[in-house]
Structure 1
Amino acid sequence: MDLLDISRMLPDQPSEVYENIKARLHELGVENAKQARFLKEEDLREVLAPVPARQLISGLKDDLNESAASADSDASCVESILNTSTNSGTCDASWCYSFEVPWQSFPAPLIKCCMNNKIPPDDQRREMVRILADKIMKVKHNPKKKELGTIAHAIISKYPSSFLDIASGVRIGSGHDSLASQLCYRVENERRKNKSKDQNMNNSSVKRKKNDVQEYGCINWSPPTNNIKELEIDQQWLLEESRKAVRDIGRVRSLMATTYPLQRSIINERAPVSAIRIKWPILFEDHYMFAHYSKLTGRVDGKEHIIRMMDSSWCLIQKALKNVKSVKVVTTMERVSTICEILQSQSYTASIGMLELLCSYFDEPISQIFRRMESVRGDFVEEAPNHPFLIAIGSTVHCPEKFLVTAEKSIIYSTECFYSAVAYFFVCFYVLNMEYPEEATATLEFMQRYFAGIAEQGSKSSKRRKSDVHPKVIKFAKLLKKAP
C-alpha cells in the first residue's frame, strides 16, 4: 500500500506515522482492497489513536463500496480505490497517481526552500503552479478537481513543511486545499482562454456524516465506561457536593476527571443541556468545562491558549483589514475606531470590536454568535439561538459589565471578562457536541484554527463544501501573513 495514498486518506500526520501504518498493514497481511474490508479499529491500535483509525478504515471501506461496480470489471482499478479517498471510481482517473511532478522544471530557489523546510515566496509558488498546470493539461486537458487534489497531495507529502497555510506563525491548515485551489484556478483560466467548458471542476463533495462533525477535533470523544456502578456512586457524591458552599476541591477535581467517561456518555446520547446540567452541574463551572475540553481534544492549556491568541492578535487583525476594500469592513473599522477614541481606551476594540471585524470580513451576521443588551429582560434568553451564544450586559452598549454564555436557551456561564466568555462559548461547541451555526461557519472556523489551534482536516459544520478548510479562512490567513 503506497505511503502517499495512505496520507491522502489520513492527512496532517507526521511522516513516521505513515511508515508505522504501512508496516502494521503488512504485518496484518493487508495487501489489497478486499483484505482492507476486514480491518478493525483494534488492528491499528498500536499505531493510531481511535478517531484517526476509524477515519482511515472508513475511507478504505467507503471508497471500496463506492467503486464496487467498476472494480468487478477491472481488478487493477480496485487497487487504485484502496490507495485514495478521492478516486472517482473509474480506471480513467488513474493517470493522476502515476503523474510525474516536474520538480526539475520548478524554480531553483523554490526547490532550495523546500529542501530546507522553508515556505517559498508567493511569486515562486505561482510560477510552480503555472509550470505544473501546463504539464497536467498536456496529459489531460480537462482534469477533475479530485485529480488535481491528488497531485497537490503528492507535492504536500514530499515537502509538508513548505506548503502549510500559516498566519503569523499559526498553522491554519495542511496547505492541500489552498494548493489544490490554485491549480484549479490556473487550469480553469487556461481553459477559458481556449473557450472550453469544464463540467468536472465542480464535483460535489462527499456528504459529511453526522458523527464526523460531532467527533471533529476530538481524540477522546467516546471513552469506554468501565466500572459504571462505581462511577455512578462518584457522580452522586459530586451532585451532593455541588450544593455545598464549601467543597472538598481536591476530591471534586479528582472525581470529575475519573467520571469523564460517564459525562461523555450522557452528552453523546444527545441529552438536552438542561438534563446534563441537572446530572453534572459542576461540569458547567469554568475550571471543569475547560478541563473536560482539554481531555476531549488533547489541548492541555485550552483556555489560556485561546485567550492568549485573542489578546495578541488584535493589532495583527487590524493591520490585515486596513487594506480590505469591502464596504462592510471599512464601515466597521471606522465605527470601532470612533468608539475607541470616545472612550479613550483600547479595551472595547480588543474585545467586542475584534468579533465585529471578523464577522464583517467573513460577511456573516454577528447576531448569530453575539448580542448586546443594556439590561436583563425576563424573556431575553428565549430570543437566543439553541447553539452556544454570547450576550453582553451593561448600562452602556460599549462598556459591558457582564458577559453571559447561553446554550439551548439556558444561561450556563457568567463572567466579567470578555475573553473568558469567548473561550467558554467556543469550547461549548466541542464539549456539548454542537455544530457551528451555518450563518457563522467561517468566523467560528477561523477562531477554531487560529485562536484554538485545531487545524485538523474537516470542520465542526455539516454544511457541504468542497474543501476541508473554508476558502475565506485560507484567504484571511494570507492577509494575516502579509500584514506588516
Structure 2
Amino acid sequence: MAAIQALREFINERLTAAAGEIFTAFEQTIVQYQEELDRQNRLLEITFNPPKKFHGTELQQDHDWKEDQLFEQETNCYLEQGEPEPPQIKEEQEEPGLLQFKENHEEPEPPQIKEEQEEPGQSYNQRRQSDEGSSESRLLPAPPPSMNYASPSSSASSSAISCQSPAVDWMDTYQVPWRQFPEELIQTLQREKRPTRHMRREMVRIVASDMMQRSSSVSKRNSTEIAKRMVAKYPKSLQDNIEGDVIGSGYDSLVKQLQNRIENMKRSTTPRIRKRRCQADDSDTGDVAPEKRAAIQDTYGCIKWDVKFLPFGETLESQQEKQEKLRQMSQQTNANQEVVKQLMRETFYTQRKQVNQGKNIKDLLEGWPSWFSDLGMDVHFKELTGLALKETFLQNVDKKGKQLLNFFSTVCARKSKKFLQAAMKVKMLRGAELSGCSEDVKEMVLLLMAYFDESEENMLANVEDSCLAGQVQIDKLPLSPTIVVCGQSCFKATRFMLSVDRVIVQENIPSFVSSLCLMFGSYYSFNIHYPSGLASTLEFLQRCFFSINPEKGTKVEKSSSSCLHMNPRVLTLIQDLSEHEWWDI
C-alpha cells in the first residue's frame, strides 16, 4: 500500500509539473501572437498612412473593402459550403490590379494575419490546443491590443475548427512542388525577378494540378494557405506590389489564379458529358454512401461502381507497382494476356477511384493504356457491371440480329418512306458481296439510327483510310465516345479509331464490332452519360444487345424535360419486335 501511495504522489507531482509547463508555453505563445499582431498593425500604418491616391472611384474602393470583409466571413464559416458557382470558365488572371482603400474607413486586417503562423514541426493536435486561446486572431479581423482574447466567439471558432474533417489533414504535410517548376522559372524566382505571364500561368497550373492530386475538394482556404507559403518564399517575385508598395495581403492575385484554375479543373468541360459532381471531403455528407451522392446516370447499370476497400493483401504501393507493370506490358507485342487480365482485375479498385474522383481521359490513358484495349475494357466492364462486354454482345447479335434486320426491311420500310430511303442507301453501301456478322452489325447500327432519326455524326466520324491519330481533326469530333472510321464508309473501312472527350484513346481497331464495344464500354467505365442526340440508339443497344436492364434510372444526360426510366421510343420498338416474332428464332 505504501508503494501505491508513493506512486500516486509521484504521478500527481509529474502531472502538476507537466500542466504548469503547458500553461507556461501557452502563455508565451499568446504573448508572441500579440507581439506579432502589434508588429503587423504598425506595418500597416506605415504602408497605408498616408494612403496613396490611385485612379478609381470611392464606390470601387468601398466595393474592394467589402470584398475583403466577405472573404473573412467565408474563412470563418468555411465548413458551411454553399452551392457551387455557375459553370462558367473563369479567366485565370495574370498580374493583380490596383487595390484601393478609403482613407476614412477603418482598415481591415489582411488575410495573412487571420491565420496563425504554423511552426515547421507543429502537429495538428498542438495547433488545436493553441486555437482555444487564439482562434479569434486566426479567423476574425484583428482586435485592438486592449481587447481580451477570451471572447465568446473564441469558443465558437474553436468548435468549428475541432469539427474539421480529415480531408483538411493533407495540408499539414503538403509541400509546394518547387521541383516540378521549369528551370527557367526556378532561375527567375531565385534571382528575385518577376516571372513572365506565361511562366506564372505555368506555375499556377503545376501547383493546382498537384493540389488536386492530393485532394479532390480543394477549398479557397487551402488555396490561400498555399499562396501565402509561395509568396513568403519568393516575396520579390510573387508578391502583389506597385512601385514597392504591397497591395492588400500581397497574395490575393495568386489565390484567385489558383482558385480559378482549380474550379476549371473540377467543372465538366461540356454539357454533353455530364459527370458526377464531386462532393467536398469536408462537407457534412461523409456518412452518405458515394453511390447515393453520385448522379444516377453514373451508377446506372453498375454493380461495383464504388469499391470501398482494397483487395485483401493489397496496399496503395502494391497497386501502383501493378499499374506500372501494366504500362510496361502495354508496350510489349507478345505480352501474356492472362497476366494482363489478372493485373486489371487486381487494380480495379484504383481504376474506379481515379474515375470517380474526376480524373480526365488523357491522364487515364497515360496511366492505364491497357484499359483502352479490347481485353482491358472487357475486364473492367465485367467487374463494373457483371457482364462480359464483347461476349454478351456477340451472343445477342447471333440470337436477335437477323430478326431485327428482317423487321426493318419488311415492316419499317413499308411504314415510312424516309426510312425506306435510308435502308436503300445502307444496302447500296454494303453491297451484295459483303456478308458476315460484322457487316450485319454495321447495317443494324445504321438502321437503328435511321429508325430513331438520330444523326450518324453523333456516333461515327469519317476520315481518310491512311489517316493517323495525330492527323485527325479533334475539334470537329463530338465530345462523347465516337468511332472514327478510316474510310469512306464503315463497310469499306478496314481500320477504326476511338475518341473519348476528343482524345484518340485507341488508334488501331481492326473491326467495327470491337470499336462498337469499346465505345459502349466507355460510357460506363468513365461515367459518361448518353448524349440526347444518340439516346434512343444507345439505350436500345444497351437493353437488347448488351443485356443491361435496370428497373429504374436512366443513362441519358439531364435535360429540361423529365426523363423516364425507359425511353418510350425504345419501348415501342421492342413491343413491335415482340409482335414480329422477336423470340421465334
TM-score normalised by the shorter chain: which range applies?
0.5 to 0.7
SS at match of 2:411: coil
Aligned to 2:573: 476
SS of 1:217 mapped into structure 2 = coil
Q: Distance in 2 between matches of 1:263 and 1:437?
A: 24
Compute the displacement of 1:269 (Å): 1.2
Q: Which aligned pairs between 1:218-367 and structure 2 lie closer than 5 A?
A: 218-226=302-310, 227-247=315-335, 249-299=337-387, 301-321=388-408, 322-324=410-412, 325-341=415-431, 343=433, 345=435, 350-367=440-457
Q: Percent identity?
A: 24
Contact 1:310 1:419 in 2 (8 A): no
Alpha-carbon displacement from aligned partner over 1:61-92 (angstroms, at most 9, x marks no partner): xxxxxxxxxxxxxxxxxxxxxxxxxxxxxxxx
User: Partners of 2:510 and 2:334 in 1: how far apart?
Assistant: 23
Deviations 1:24-74 (A, max 9, x none): xxxxxxxxxxxxxxxxxxxxxxxxxxxxxxxxxxxxxxxxxxxxxxxxxxx
**What number of residue pairs does the alignment pair up?**
276
SS at structure 2 position matched to 1:411: strand
- Matched residue, 1:425: 519
Change (3 A) 1:292 1:280: same
Aligned-residue offset at 1:239: 2.8
The structure showing larger relative contact order (alpha-carbon pairs under 8 Å, at least 6 residues apart) is 1
1:389 matches 2:482: yes
Correspondence for 2:504: 411
Q: Secondary structure at the match of 1:406?
A: strand
| Cα distance in structure 2, aligned partners of 1:358 and 1:432 | 24
Question: Which shows bigger deviation, 301-310 or 420-429?
Answer: 301-310
* Structure 1 contact 337–349 (Cα < 8 Å) conserved: no
Listed as ranges, the matches of 1:56-455 within 5 Å are: 211-226=295-310, 227-247=315-335, 249-299=337-387, 301-321=388-408, 322-324=410-412, 325-341=415-431, 343=433, 345=435, 350-375=440-465, 376=467, 378-394=471-487, 398-413=491-506, 414-455=508-549
| 5+ residue gaps, structure 2 | 1-291
Q: What RMSD over aligned residues (CA atoms) do the two structures have, in Å?
A: 2.4
Distance verdict in 2 for CA 1:329–1:311, change over 3 Å: farther
Which residue in 2 is equivalent to 1:462?
557
Larger of the two Rg values belongs to structure: 2
Distance 1:220 1:254 in 2: 17
For 2:324 and 2:435, locate their aligned partners in 1 and report how far apart those are by CA, in whole Å. Answer: 48
CA contact (8 A) 2:372 2:518 kept: no
Name the counterpart of 1:161: none
Find the aligned partners of 1:348 and 1:255 in 2 and give their Cα distance: 30
* Residue of structure 1 equivalent to 2:77: none
| Deviations 1:190-239, CA, capped at 9 Å, x for gaps | xxxxxxxxxxxxxxxxxx98521111110101102432232223223333
Per the alignment, residue 184 of structure 2 pairs with none
- How far, CA to CA, are the matches of 1:476 and 1:209 in structure 2? 33
Shift of 1:311: 4.3
Give the secondary-structure state (helix, strand or coil) at the position aligned to 1:323: helix
Letter in 2 for 1:405: L
Letter in 2 for 1:261: Y
Whole-Å separation in 2 of the counterparts to 1:258 and 1:241: 15
Q: Using the alignment, how far apart are the partners of 2:547 and 2:489 within structure 1? A: 33
Cα 1:252–1:333, aligned 2, differ >3 Å: closer, same or farther?
closer
**2: distance between equivalents of 1:350 and 1:468?**
29
The structure-2 alpha-carbon separation of the partners of 1:312 and 1:290, relative to structure 1 and needing over 3 Å to count, comes to same
Deviations 1:371-416 (A, max 9, x none): 3333327233332112111122136664111122111122223322
